[in-house]
Amino acid sequence: MTTSPTPLLVLDVVGLTPALLDHMPHLKALAGRGSQAELGTVLPAVTCAAQSTFLTGTLPAEHGIVGNGWYFRTVLPAVTCAAQSTFLTGTLPAEHGIVGNGWYFRELGDVLLWRQHNGLVAGDKLWDAARRAYPGYTVANICWWYAMGADTDYTVTPRPVYYADGRKEPDCYTRPPALHDELTDKLGTFPLFHFWGPGADLVSSRWIIDATRHILRTRNPDLALCYVPHLDYDLQRFGPRDPRSLRAAADLDAELAPLLEEAEAEGRTVVVLSEYGIGEVSRPVDINRALRRAGLLEVHTQDGMEYLDPMTSRAFAVADHQLAHVYVRRPEDLPRVREVLEDLPGVGELLGDEGKKEHGLDHPRSGELVAVAEPDAWFTYYYWLDDARAPDFAQLVEIHRKPGYDPAELFMDPLDPYVKVKAAGALARKKLGLRYRMAVV
């Protein structure tokens, strides 16, 4: 006779570090009742990769999560998609294939970030192993990435409405479909513009936490995955030691308290983990501009705006926080690319074939070279040399068109005295059902 598995709640509190626990009494108390441990590092430490690695391997009885507590796990690159994928598969990017929050799709000739299809993540997931041991094992995924198409029983993930006239409105995708109206009737529309952008704040995490509580009460899945993004915002805006960041930690802890209490009351093992921590940085590294000045990166121009031309560039970088995949079209250009980047201030390491293998990044989706920034530096995606020729999406929250990560999307333009007036005007057009451009970044 097969015994029933202990129900499990895995909270991905992105940005959580041991130093923040003194400002989060409910999470600190959870550790006191159970256990706390730091995990080692893998590359890349980013959301999508880290999540996928964690949840693939074994059942709770086998992987050692036998009491309430959490693990801190990072991968290289330390970004959402790579880290989550590592969490969920128990493998490194070399195996699961999620080498960052996005990469250059060579077969398409395009840089694509924040894809959502679970088919991009190779390997067994944690629930596959669980179902072999416990047939009928049920899983709920509330806002972990690569959710769409996953073999989970209940799914909630951000998914805007893209109208034919170009408007983008907040919404989410759910499976089963009926869960969509059930959640929005109870909690309101998924607050997309509080999930990312200048308006990102506690509202999105509150919605996700409440959705998780509702699903636990009404569906009682054996495994519930919940992604909680709030710390990611102010820690990036202000740094990990700023009072505003510490206040964000305390605010989030208060929001988590009812979920933790309810989960423990029903006998769930609670695991709290983080994809990465956030450190102080002060130096932007314009890696693509360096490649362009060296004659290796090409652009094409439309309406006076410059666009990256990855298909014809001899080399270009997909920048993702402190890691950049550098794609080199011809092997004979590798020495020149390496020479340019080794002389670029802020580049700490340049990984070739052996370095990628050492860090578990030797996958066909990775760049021919992988640049790792020095601890106080980060990579920009910017490739234009004159701001007057920047593409119009540069001042927008446009995660799907920018060929790299842009933390400036968390801010309104501090140099524009009319930025709030512009934002109000754009919102007015939005409410009237008109197309609008929120060019305030």
- Alpha-carbon torsion 164, 168, 171, 174, what sign? positive
What is the number of structural domains in the chain? Answer: 2
Print the domain residue range for 56: 8-274
pLDDT in tens, the chain (441 residues): 457 899 999 999 999 999 999 999 999 999 999 888 776 555 555 555 454 455 443 333 333 332 344 434 457 888 999 999 999 999 999 999 999 999 999 999 999 999 999 999 999 999 999 999 999 999 999 999 999 999 999 999 999 999 999 899 999 999 999 999 999 999 999 999 999 999 999 999 999 999 999 999 999 999 999 999 999 999 999 999 999 999 999 999 999 999 999 999 999 999 999 999 999 999 999 999 999 999 999 999 999 999 999 999 999 999 999 999 999 999 999 999 999 999 999 999 999 999 999 999 999 999 999 999 999 999 999 999 999 999 999 999 999 999 999 999 999 876 655 455 454 454 444 454 554 455 666
Q: Backbone phi, then psi, for 158, in 5-degree steps?
A: -60, 135
Q: Do both 220 and 91 map to the same domain?
A: yes
Task: Tell me how far apart the alpha carbons of residues 93 and 75 are, in angstroms, rounded to a whole number.
Answer: 8
Q: Quote the distance between the C-alpha of residue 309 and its chain's center.
A: 25
Please check whether residue 418 lies inside any domain of the structure: no
Bridge partners of 223, per DSSP, are 8, 139
* 258/384 same-domain check: no
Residue 195 shares a structural domain with residue 303: no
What backbone torsions phi and psi does residue 291 show, to the nearest 5 degrees?
A: -65, -35
Residue 228 lies in a domain: yes
Same structural domain, 64 and 206: yes
Is the distance from CB of 35 to CB of 298 less than 8 angstroms?
no
Q: Are residues 177 and 48 in the same domain?
A: yes
